Each structure stands twice: as C-alpha cells, then as structure tokens.
Amino acid sequence: MPVDGEIVIEVPVQGYDAPLSFRRPVRLLPGAPQRITVDVFVPDARRALTVRLVASGREVTRREVPLSASRAVEAVVLALTHEPAGLEFLADLTRKIRAAYITEVDLPVQWQGYAGVQLLVVRDLDERAVSPAQQRALEQWVVQGGRLLVTGGAPLVVLRAPWLLRMLPADPAGLTEVRRPDVLPGLRGPISATMLKLRRGAAGGPMGGRWRWGTGSVLVWAFDPFAPELRSWSGRAAIWGGALDAPVRPWVATAEIGSALPSSRPLAGAIQLWLAALSIVYVVAVRRVLRHAGRVRGGWLAVPGVAVCFMTVMYGFALQARRAGTSVVQASIAEVIPGTGMARVRTFASLISPYGGAFQLKMADDVWIQPVEPRPLTFDGPSAISGNAPASGLRVDASQVVSMPLNGRTAVSDAGLRVEIDNRGALNITDAQIFRGGQVYRLPRIGATLSTLLDPTRWEPFGRQPNPPPDVGDRFMEEVLGRLQRQPSSPDVVAWLVGRLGDGQPAAGQSIRVDAYRLVLMPLRESWEDRP
C-alpha cells in the first residue's frame, strides 16, 4: 500500500523561531528504498536541520541532521568518476574548496542544482545512465558560466555521449603513450594520453584544449589526472588551479542590482481621503443620533446600530485598502547567450506588503526562487514560496533559462559601426540602446530585424543621474548601463544591446497589483555565432 506524504526539511533561520521549510510530495512503498533529492539552502550552518516525513497531516518520522560551520565550504568540485579518489589535495588549498565524488545518478536534473559548483570534472560517464533532464541541466549550466573539465586517457576514448562530445574543444582520436609530457613538468613518463584534435576556435595543445561555451568554459585534458602517477605528481595543484579559475564571463545582472527595487509604497492618497470622509460622516452621524436618542423611547438603541453599521463598512474598507497596498514589483533582466537561442533571465521581485499578511508566490516551473534575506518561509517547490509577508518587504531573486531567438553582430569599418539584429521572438525591443566604451547610441524600436550604420555624431556619453530615476524600469536600465561601464572590456564583445522587451509599459497581474519590467541585454560580436 503506497504512502502519499511529503518530505519536510526544516532549516533554522537566525533571529527567527520559525524555520525555513522545504516541502516535497513523495509516494513511498513500504520496504522499497527510494532516493529523493531536495535542494535546500542553509543560511545558518551552525545549527541542525530537521528532516520530517509527514503523511495525512501526521508526522511519521523525523531525523535531526547536525551541521557545523567547519563543514561549510566556499565551493565544490564535482568529480564524476567511478573511483572516488584523487582530489584530496584540494583540502590543502587556501580556499575552502572540497571535492565531491559522484556518479551519473547524482547529476542534478536542473541547472540550478549546480549552485556552488566551481568545477565539474567528468571522467567516467556512461551516457546511458544520464537522463535527458540531466544532460539539459549540465549543458544549461555550462552555457551560463559553468566550468566543465573532461579528463582524458582511456575513459575519454570510449566516451560515446554526442551531446558532451559536441561541447569539447577537441576531438578525441585514440589513445597514445606520452614518454615525456612537456606541459606537465616534473612528471615522469610514460603516461597514457588521448590524442586530441583541436577544433576551430579552441586554444591549447596536444595535452589539452579549452574554449568558451556560452559564457562558460570547457576544458579537455588528454591525460587522466586520476591515474596513480598523476595523483602523486607535485605539479598537480597548479594545473588544477588553472582549471578551477578558468575564465568565464560574469553576468551583468548580479544579486546586488535587486536593491534598486522599491520596498515600500505610501498608502494611496485617494484611500486616505475616503477614510477621512467616512470618519467625518461617522462622527456627524453619531452626534445626530445622540442628540435625538433621548427624545424617543428606546432611541438609544440607534447608537450601537449606527456604530455597527459603520464598523462593517469601515472594516470592509480597511480590508480593501490593505489589499490595494499589497503589490509586487518585479524587474527581469534577460541576458542573451549568443548562438544558443537562449537567455538567462534573472528576476528581482519585491513583495510590498506594508501591513503584512500571508502570501503565496508562484513562478514558472523551471524558475528557482531564493529570498534575498533568509526568512522563515515555506518552499512548496523550487518555484513556489509561501509564508507571512514581512512588513519591511520581501525581496526574492529568481533565475531561469528561456528560449530567446535573438542574435546580433557588429561590423567595424571606417564609416562607423554597423549593427545587425535578428529578432525572431514575439516581442519588440523598445528604448533600445547600443552601449560601447561608456557611450550610448539610441536605436529605433527593433521588430524582426534591424540593420543600421551608426552615425558617429549621435553617440552620447553615459552618466548616472545624481538621484535614481523614479520609474523602476528606468532605474534598472541605468543600473545595467552603469554595470556595463564598470565591466572590463572583453576582446570578443564589441558592444552591447540594451533595451526593454515589449512596449515598455509595466505588465499588470490579476490577483494583486504586479508591476513587471523586462529588460534585455545582449553582447554584440563581430560575427554570427555558430556555437554557444
């Protein structure tokens, strides 16, 4: 007889009595072990978290999982290998990076599951054991700035996963024996290595190749760093350090940009006026009734009557005022990943609930929400949270990858900069601007395509206004341009396209007031991309 229930993981939150709860519905069969993955984040690693199984509202079992701050790390290296050894030296690094040896079954099924992973090392991969969701998650994570290292040796030669081989900067072409590996100084040969044929656009040599994949980085090594002779090699820390710090392009929309959202709004003037009018009418009515109450037998009954009537009306009015005062302001920044037809969308949302109360926030299924500040909330899924809204406002940060068929390129010539935009999405881009070297160039509305030569005299210097613009969309636009200005120049990015998606008006919600602002951001290169 299957048991339908839910796994509840409760994580303590410093400063609050109530925990942060993560709920996941489960169907359990007696006697049949089942693996359930629940992604949680732990704001305070000094206290124990509780795992409970609840069925029909009754707690079936519970277990405390002790945590300790000493076990908290900055980042993790995931090593997909059938032999869980070889990365012990990571513990000697100054950074708190630890290795986790995993098998195919442990690969996350959503890209968000790679949060905190500094490097994914693939050594032994049986492609039949990897689900399509795991493949998609891995690809999406790398495209968004993840670091992937595929190690060589015999496992690489037998690797048959086309989706993974496609991402590699070099084609494996058999196994060879290297007697004196020059790029691995101090290592005594011979070692077994994969022969690599570098692809166009890749950098490296016979012992390894690397290239950019989206905003991420993919490396392939011809040798197997888990082989016994390399595990004891003195130069291993340096070569691993290079892999750990392989350059990836940072995102423009970082968590700090969310602070541009408002956290409060004053009560509407019309509501205050209505309330004042109701109060005056009430006082006048009471005076009138009191004046005449004594003259009529039983007239005093009219006094509580008037009070009850006004109480009902004013309570209803207050509930409406409370509802009107609750709203959501959200700003989404879509950063196009050229050549993929995808964009990473980071949404910053502020739940403005000046008078508190319960709330439920649900986003699309593939969205991963996190509150900016740890609070006792309930996660009914990665994309749904509920709880009591704090009067000081609740800010959440959500990420997702969406399909966005938008591409662009530039061509620099003596005549100036030519920009070509190919927009196959349903939404126009308004208030579009080209940003380059601290200057902006305003473009007309971009429909399906745009091809224009930018007039060199129409560039304007970008400068932040002394006070943030009152409009949230303008404020975010200014934040984005300000971040682009501060970003170090990248050799492959000539300029940036920044604009609003849609007609520029905030989108409204149905149940409560939702003001949604959508911005798009795309790096422009000198050629169309044929790979991420």
Binding residues for another protein, rule: CB under 8 A, are 263-267, 272, 275-276, 279, 282-283, 286-287, 290-295, 300, 303-304, 307-308, 310-319, 321-322, 325, 354-357, 390-393
Residue placing its CB nearer to another protein in the complex, 282 or 462: 282
Q: Strands (DSSP E) along 40-190, which ranges?
A: 49-55, 58-65, 75-80, 97-102, 117-122, 147-150, 170-178
Closest CA to 420 of 504, 490, 343, 522: 522
Residue placing its CB nearer to another protein in the complex, 200 or 291: 291
Q: How far is the CB of 280 from another protein (least distance, A)?
A: 8
Closest CA to 314 of 353, 352, 286: 286
Q: How far is the CB of 322 from another protein (least distance, A)?
A: 5
Q: Amino acid identity, residue 48?
A: A
Which run of H or of E encompasses 140? helix 132-143
Closest CA to 499 of 515, 476, 482, 516: 476
Q: How far is the CB of 319 from another protein (least distance, A)?
A: 5
Q: What is the DSSP letter of 493?
A: -
SS (H, E, C) 361-405: EECCCCCEEEECCCCCCEEEECCEEEEECCCCCEEEEEEEEEECC
Q: How far is the CB of 269 from another protein (least distance, A)?
A: 12
Q: How far is the CB of 219 from another protein (least distance, A)?
A: 49
Name the phi and psi angles at 298, rounded to 5: 75, 10
Which run of H or of E encompasses 271? helix 269-293
**Cα 171 versus chain centre, distance:** 32
Alpha helices in 294-374 (DSSP H): 302-325
Give the separation between CA 231 and CA 234, rounded to whole angstroms.
Answer: 8
Residue placing its CB nearer to another protein in the complex, 280 or 448: 280
Torsion angle of C-alpha atoms 487, 491, 492, 494, degrees rounded to 10: 70
509: helix, coil or strand? Answer: coil
Residue placing its CB nearer to another protein in the complex, 200 or 297: 297
Which tokens hold the place of 36?
């359930």
Residue placing its CB nearer to another protein in the complex, 388 or 485: 388
Asked if 377 contacts 386 with a C-beta cutoff of 8 angstroms, the reply is: yes
**Residues sharing a CB contact under 8 Å with residue 327, sequence separation 6 or more, in sequence order:** 265, 352, 512, 513, 514, 515
Residue placing its CB nearer to another protein in the complex, 178 or 321: 321
Residue placing its CB nearer to another protein in the complex, 38 or 307: 307
Torsion angle of C-alpha atoms 152, 157, 160, 164, degrees rounded to 10: 30
Residue placing its CB nearer to another protein in the complex, 322 or 531: 322
Q: What is the DSSP letter of 328?
A: E
Residue placing its CB nearer to another protein in the complex, 172 or 371: 371
Residue placing its CB nearer to another protein in the complex, 5 or 354: 354
Q: How far is the CB of 373 from another protein (least distance, A)?
A: 13
Residue placing its CB nearer to another protein in the complex, 43 or 145: 43
Q: How far is the CB of 475 from another protein (least distance, A)?
A: 20
Which tokens hold the place of 492?
């492959």
Place of tokens 């519905």: 25
Give the separation between CA 38 and CA 294, rounded to whole angstroms.
Answer: 70
Q: How far is the CB of 515 from another protein (least distance, A)?
A: 17
Residue placing its CB nearer to another protein in the complex, 68 or 312: 312
Q: How far is the CB of 357 from another protein (least distance, A)?
A: 4
Closest CA to 47 of 59, 23, 64: 64
Q: How far is the CB of 469 from another protein (least distance, A)?
A: 22
Closest CA to 452 of 492, 500, 407, 416: 416
**Residues sharing a CB contact under 8 Å with residue 461, sequence separation 6 or more, in sequence order:** 438, 439, 440
Q: How far is the CB of 374 from another protein (least distance, A)?
A: 14
Closest CA to 26 of 49, 43, 3: 3
Q: Amino acid identity, residue 95?
A: R
Q: How far is the CB of 509 from another protein (least distance, A)?
A: 19
Name the phi and psi angles at 205, rounded to 5: -155, -160
Q: How far is the CB of 11 from another protein (least distance, A)?
A: 19
Residue placing its CB nearer to another protein in the complex, 91 or 281: 281
Residue placing its CB nearer to another protein in the complex, 352 or 524: 352
Q: How far is the CB of 353 from another protein (least distance, A)?
A: 9
